[in-house]
Amino acid sequence: MNRFKNLFLISCGCLLIGMASYAGFRLAFRGLIFPKVTIAGIKVGGMNRVTALKIINNYFSNNPNSTILRTGEVETDKFNEIKVERDFVWAVEQAMSVGRNGNFLTQVSEQAKTVFSSREVSVPISYDVEELTGYIEDIATETNKKIIWPKLVRKEGKVSVVPGVDGLEIQTKLLENMIANAWSKPGLQIVDVPTKVIVASENFQLINQAVDALNKWGDKRLSIRYGNFVTVLTEEEMIGLFGLTDDVVDRDNFRNLLARIQQRVETEPRDAVFSFEEGSVVEFKPEVVGVTIDIPEFNKQIGNSLLAVEDKALEIPVILSEPKIKAGDINNLGIKELIGKGKSSFSHSIPGRVFNVNLASTRIDSTLIAPGEEFSFNKAVGDISRASGYQSAYIISGGKTILGDGGGVCQVSTTVFRAALDAGLPITERKAHAYRVGYYEQDSKPGIDATVYNPTVDFKFINDTENHILVQTKVDTRRMTMEIDIYGTNDGRIVTLTEPRISSQTPPPATVYVDDPTLATGQMKQIDWSAWGAKVSFDYKVTKGGETIFEKTFYSNYQPWQAVYLRGTN
């Protein structure tokens, strides 16, 4: 009994001594960094924040960083021209937090580690990533050696193989991380540029079977066909298609062949398009079944045909995609009558804007929207850029009116908004313009506009009817007007729109004149137009059979806008 009592007392004594020692340790390092903590290899244990920061600053000042890249026997430090900023304050705070984060047990564990082993804290740095990437790309251009893969050649009627040559490639991402790590330390830092060898390995089994097959082909050629499309492979193409390293069919040359024939074989599925004429729907463009090459199967069949020396034409395997809407569905779509109309005017638009309004309207013309489907203006109109045919016209971007690709597309989205309101359809996404644009108030009161900016700003509505609806557009470039018509089945819904409520009107700021040395002295050029600021709202209510289907209030908060003129000084 006394033995257990003594053991208990000894244990309690040890626990008390341990607790007292830990308390003394915590007290000794109160406000100080715990022992064996380093910042960029510099010992800061036992220091307070001020002392540690002073030590780090002095160390880097007296031993400034100089990083050298070494590739073999060649060294360079030219990339040190890049400005690097180091955050010593953050590093000191991180050093101070070692052993002080987390719950009590975590802190005890971390503090114990600082007594027996060092803890390294890095100095965070910031630099121009693009500039460093540019330097690394320059080094890679000088260092990289392009791999030369083994290839087959025909000489004097016989096929033989030319061995490949290994390539060398800099591991650019790893090198960037190594440089960043070196920059975070003081003094001379040497970074050995990491490279990897790309082995031009040869698969002798593939080579032997390729040589054997090509010798059997002789003067014969493999032909490939689908429908009315037929192509005969050249000798060079056939030789290149044999894989000599990993695959039966060479990946790169197969990809090249695929790119050449895809544009001749493949086609996107397209729904049948209908037009509404004299009270009835007529078909004016039939559906198109989509065709996509079955790439894995095509690769397999190419390999089999080449090795089997099959003289017959290879039929390209394809995957067919049926369109959603077919001409035969014309009587089942439920498009019977006009259910919504939107109008707008764009007089005084510059030629580029008129062109864009017309182009965007053609992109959404004849759009069919299935029951329950959400219409997205951005999805329907597609890419809006010079590459897709749009011209330069004024757009709102970054708080300014500037020339940009696709200016005028919002004329179309605004008109679609008005048509959807008239049809009584639920609007799921709409955003007003930053300021009151004169085009949208030529034939309408303020607040009934919708801006779009792909991909962040869209206009959307849902077809909540039981039938398809058809969107058709009409643009009159002589009268500078456009119309959006929505056809479907009238289900008896009634639309109520209140008059827009205008409040908090504020005058535009004073006109700004900016000196422009590219303009002749005395010449003026207006690049922004003044507009009154205002808050505008209106109510939208849709009823059916005396019951409210939905109702919503639309808000527009227009900023006051100043006119800006460029003033020539040249």
For residues 485 and 469, the answer to whether their CB atoms sit within 8 Å is: no
Strands (E), 346-468: 367-369, 374-376, 392-397, 400-405, 427-429, 460-462
pLDDT of residue 522: 81
The pLDDT-based confidence of 239 (bands split at 50, 70, 90) is confident
Interval 1-48: pLDDT, tens: 566 666 666 666 666 665 665 566 667 778 888 888 898 888 888 889
The pLDDT-based confidence of 463 (bands split at 50, 70, 90) is very high
Residue 324: pLDDT over 90? no
Q: List the beta bridge partners of residue 219.
A: none
Computed from CA positions of residues 255, 261, 263, 266, in that sequence, does the dihedral angle turn out positive or negative? Answer: negative
- pTM above threshold 0.85: no
pLDDT of residue 299: 94
The pLDDT-based confidence of 232 (bands split at 50, 70, 90) is very high
Interval 184-227: pLDDT, tens: 899 999 999 999 998 888 788 888 888 888 888 888 899 999 98
User: Which H or E run contains 59?
Assistant: helix 49-62
Pairing of strands 524-528, 564-568: antiparallel
pLDDT of residue 404: 60
In sequence order, what are the residues at sequence separation of 6 or more whose Cβ sits closer than 8 angstroms to the Cβ of residue 369?
Answer: 375, 463, 468, 469, 470, 471
**Distance (Å, rounded) from C-alpha 300 to C-alpha 307?**
11
Axis crossing angle, helix 351-364 with helix 409-423, rounded to the nearest 10:
40
The chain-wide mean pLDDT, for the chain, equals 85
Interval 347-396: pLDDT, tens: 888 788 889 899 999 999 888 899 999 999 999 998 888 887 888 765 65
pLDDT of residue 388: 79
The domain at 209-329 falls in which architecture?
Roll (3.10)
Per DSSP, 288 falls in state B
Axis crossing angle, helix 88-97 with helix 49-62, rounded to the nearest 10:
130
Instruction: Name the nearest CA neighbour of 139 among 167, 166, 170.
Output: 170
- In the structure, how many helices (H) and strands (E) does the chain have? 13, 35
For residues 558 and 432, the answer to whether their CB atoms sit within 8 Å is: yes
Strands (E), 365-468: 367-369, 374-376, 392-397, 400-405, 427-429, 460-462
Residue 397: pLDDT over 80? no
How far is C-alpha 386 from the chain's CA centre?
18
Per the model's pLDDT, the better-predicted residue between 115 and 358 turns out to be 358
CATH 3.10.20.800, the chain: domain bounds: 209-329
Averaged pLDDT for residues 508-520: 81
Instruction: Name the nearest CA neighbour of 480 among 446, 436, 527, 438.
Output: 438
